[in-house]
Amino acid sequence: MVLNLLWMFLKFLPIITTAVQGLRNLTFPNNFKFGVATSAYQIEGAWNEDGKGQSIWDHYLHKYPYLVKDKSNGDIACDSYHKYKEDVKLLKDLGVDFYRFSIAWTRIIPMGYKDSGVSLEGIEYYNNLIDELLASDIEPYVTIFHWDTPKTLEENGGWLNNSIVDHYVSYARILFELYGDRVKHWLTFNEFSQFCEEGYSRAEKAPFKSLQGIGGYQCTHNALIAHSRTYKMYVEEFKISQKGFLGLSVDTAWAEPKTDSILDKLAAEEEMLFSYFYYLHPLIFGDYPTLLKMKISLKSSVQGFRTSRLPKFNESEIELLRGSFDFIGLNHYTTALCSWSNQKFPVPSELDDCGVKQSQNTTWKISAAPWLAEVPWGLRKLLVWIKEKLNNPPLLITENGWATTDSNLDDNDRMNYHTKYLSEVLKAIHDDDCNVIGYTAWTLMDNFEWMSGYGEKFGLVQVDLTSTNRTRTPKDSFFLYQKIIRNRKLIE
């Protein structure tokens, strides 16, 4: 009898092991955090209420409405400025541990400039939002800057002028003083590449400048310095009393070689160098990667520039930059196939400096946003890459989501996308020992998707843009995410 039982046990052992393994791979660590994200211009509306100053998005989208696909803007958006209580109710119902939102610089300091006076109503709005969140047991994760540079500062060169660093640091100081007693997670910047390269080199986002091969590098340089000075200030003046953490969100796709050839592998590495390592290397090692510096410097001299188009950090800046974060935020949506390009890019340009051609596999499912293909395994590869190249920093996924053209409530595609990507996160945690501390779905509700207007919807909640009430209705993906958070487990 005993022998029989033992025999049966041994026989079923592999099945039991696989089941336990499977269960483990469906379960999130106890301290893993779940959240959703939004940004001020995309949801708040009330663009000129209660003394708010204009940002470059207010200004340029009024001036050039045709730049946005449906000629819309963020004047009203989801009207969260008035409906934040309803938003917090939704968040509570969703069960998230944190809510990542951004503060509109010009709501706090209407003129943008250091010492130019604050708006009490603007300050009050975020006080109320933060208090409402905390009363619902939701931690506020605050992005200090999500692209909405004050118009006044832009008139002075914006991120191309290094004097903006002082203005930014002083704005950040005001936020720490006002809200740091309750906000314990700060993100200095959201996605350098989008507001710098697209904003100052390729004229694809506000302020629509096309200083190819120069503007993006200069903007990023100033923003990196602003980040490191803010980190120093936070550590020296606030961290001990406020006990918070400061990081930033950097975006990247995963760069996959198009074929197994050595050349394509090199192309993919080059793409990771220019699209990601470029931004994070300074924060970890103090300076831009050597290969990147050499390549841009060489190209600049061939092109007749007296110095490299990539600005240089001085010794004290390098000192400040090195190690200037408590955690890294990753915005990730998709993967690109990489090969060397024989395409003619403008010279000079960031695209030419990198020289890599990106494409999608024809079998991949493409979302309403043409750049966004569903490639879940790309996230796992990226997480392993980050672990290996960036010394396994605490990594918070600060954005990940799927776009649809309609806002139907039965959003199966979005449910599949989030499930598949979360499953890759679990593999990266359990099988690859990646230090992923949390996940943020982009986004709470359908909102203003920049140059695509309201045509691309990423929300877990539908917003009826035809009603003055901006009625919110949770989609199926909302309830799926709710279940995942509640069980801290993926549903098979």
Site string for ligand NOJ, 453-482 (x = CB under 6 A): -----x------------------------
Site string for ligand NOJ, 224-243 (x = CB under 6 A): --------------------
Give the nearest distance from C-beta 131 to ligand NOJ in angstroms: 25
Distance in angstroms (rounded) separating the CA atoms of residues 202 and 463: 31
Give the nearest distance from C-beta 458 to ligand NOJ in angstroms: 6
39 binds ligand NOJ (CB under 6 A): yes
Site string for ligand NOJ, 153-192 (x = CB under 6 A): -------------------------------------xx-
Give the nearest distance from C-beta 419 to ligand NOJ in angstroms: 19
- Which of 228, 230, 331, 423 forms a contact with ligand NOJ (CB under 6 A)? 331
- Which of 217, 254, 442, 481 forms a contact with ligand NOJ (CB under 6 A)? 442
Q: Which is nearer to ligand NOJ, 202 or 258 (CB)?
A: 202
- Which of 317, 449, 478, 485 forms a contact with ligand NOJ (CB under 6 A)? 449
Give the nearest distance from C-beta 77 to ligand NOJ in angstroms: 12
Task: Specify whether 399 is catalytic.
Answer: yes
Q: Which is nearer to ligand NOJ, 143 or 212 (CB)?
A: 143
Q: Which is nearer to ligand NOJ, 37 or 434 (CB)?
A: 37
Amino acid at 120: L
The owner of tokens 């209660």 is: 50
106 binds ligand NOJ (CB under 6 A): no
Give the nearest distance from C-beta 186 to ligand NOJ in angstroms: 16
339 binds ligand NOJ (CB under 6 A): no
Q: Which is nearer to ligand NOJ, 202 or 299 (CB)?
A: 202
How many residues interact with ligand NOJ (rule CB under 6 A)? 9
- Of the listed 44, 139, 154, 191, which one is catalytic? 191
- Which of 58, 399, 424, 446 forms a contact with ligand NOJ (CB under 6 A)? 399
- Of the listed 139, 154, 197, 399, which one is catalytic? 399
Q: Which is nearer to ligand NOJ, 91 or 296 (CB)?
A: 91
Q: Which residues contact ligand NOJ (rule: CB under 6 A)?
A: 39, 42, 190-191, 331, 399, 442, 449, 458
Indicate which residues carry an active-site annotation.
Answer: 191, 399
